[in-house]
């Protein structure tokens, strides 16, 4: 990944997704989490302040040691039990049907094979378990989508492999989930190619 990807990108990401910009969204997405929660792309731990009381343990998957270090005081302040269990969402070192819930916030854009990661999340979830997510991705509007496709090569180089134009809903259903609820919208005050959000709940049948 190199020095920039290992040392700089995690800090940029933590700043870009800071609490003051994303807190209300995180509240909504985390609200229904229960029991043992698998969180892919734990990042710098911003979600830790939003876990509901029904969460008993968080199984955190995070490749960046820098992000994990930044997360430490947030995890300590939250009082939640958080355990780092893996580095790669595409290959989870967890048994089948072992987690009650799963969480992904602005993560699927950077995983090289997002479909494979989602299939792994589905494998680890118990039957009836839910994946709660918010992601940015492919806009339904042709003009914005063209800009996303133009910017994708630059975005991937500058933002740790981030893709702007992934069809998040199709990736989720393609991994075998049923989407129970989905909201799509442009995040306010953000450039549109970066700001088409998918926010929802998907269930393992």
Distance CA 181, CA 8 (A): 35
Query: Could you tell me which of 24, 38, 54 has the C-alpha nearest to residue 46?
Result: 24
Q: For residue 14, what pLDDT is reported?
A: 84
146 in Cβ contact with 152 (< 8 Å) = no
Q: For residue 126, what pLDDT is reported?
A: 98
Backbone angles phi, psi at 19, to 5 degrees: -50, -45
Q: For residue 7, what pLDDT is reported?
A: 79
What is the CATH code of the structural domain delimited by 2-204? 3.40.50.150
Q: For residue 96, what pLDDT is reported?
A: 98
Q: For residue 1, what pLDDT is reported?
A: 54
Torsion sign, CA atoms 145, 147, 149, 155 = negative
Domain residue spans of the chain? 2-204
Distance CA 194, CA 23 (A): 18
Q: Is 131 exposed, middle or buried (0-12, 13-18, 19+ CB in 10 A)?
A: buried
Residue-by-residue pLDDT tens, the chain, 205 positions:
577 778 787 787 888 888 888 999 999 999 999 999 999 999 999 999 999 999 999 999 999 999 999 999 999 999 889 999 999 999 999 999 999 999 999 999 999 999 999 999 999 999 999 999 999 999 999 999 999 999 999 999 999 899 999 999 999 999 999 999 999 999 999 999 999 999 999 999 8
Predicted TM-score (pTM) of this structure: 0.95
Q: For residue 24, what pLDDT is reported?
A: 96
Distance CA 146, CA 169 (A): 19
């Amino acid at each position: 990944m190199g020095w920039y990807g290992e040392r700089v990108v995690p800090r940029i990401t933590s700043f870009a997704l800071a609490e003051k910009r994303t807190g209300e969204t995180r509240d909504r997405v985390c609200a229904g989490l229960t029991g043992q929660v698998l969180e892919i792309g734990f990042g710098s731990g911003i979600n830790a302040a939003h876990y509901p009381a029904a969460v008993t343990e968080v199984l955190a998957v995070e490749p960046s040691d820098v992000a994990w270090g930044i997360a430490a005081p947030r995890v300590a302040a939250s009082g939640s039990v958080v355990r780092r269990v893996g580095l790669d969402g595409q290959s989870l070192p967890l048994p089948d049907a072992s987690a009650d819930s799963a969480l992904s916030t602005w993560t699927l854009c950077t995983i090289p094979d997002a479909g494979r990661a989602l299939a792994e999340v589905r494998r680890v979830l118990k039957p009836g378990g839910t994946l709660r997510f918010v992601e940015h991705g492919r806009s339904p509007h042709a003009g914005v989508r063209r800009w996303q496709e133009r910017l994708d090569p630059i975005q991937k180089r500058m933002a740790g492999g981030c893709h702007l134009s992934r069809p998040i809903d199709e990736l989720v259903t393609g991994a075998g989930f049923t989407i129970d609820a989905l909201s799509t919208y442009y995040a306010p005050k953000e450039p549109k190619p970066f700001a088409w959000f998918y926010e929802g709940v998907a269930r393992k049948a």
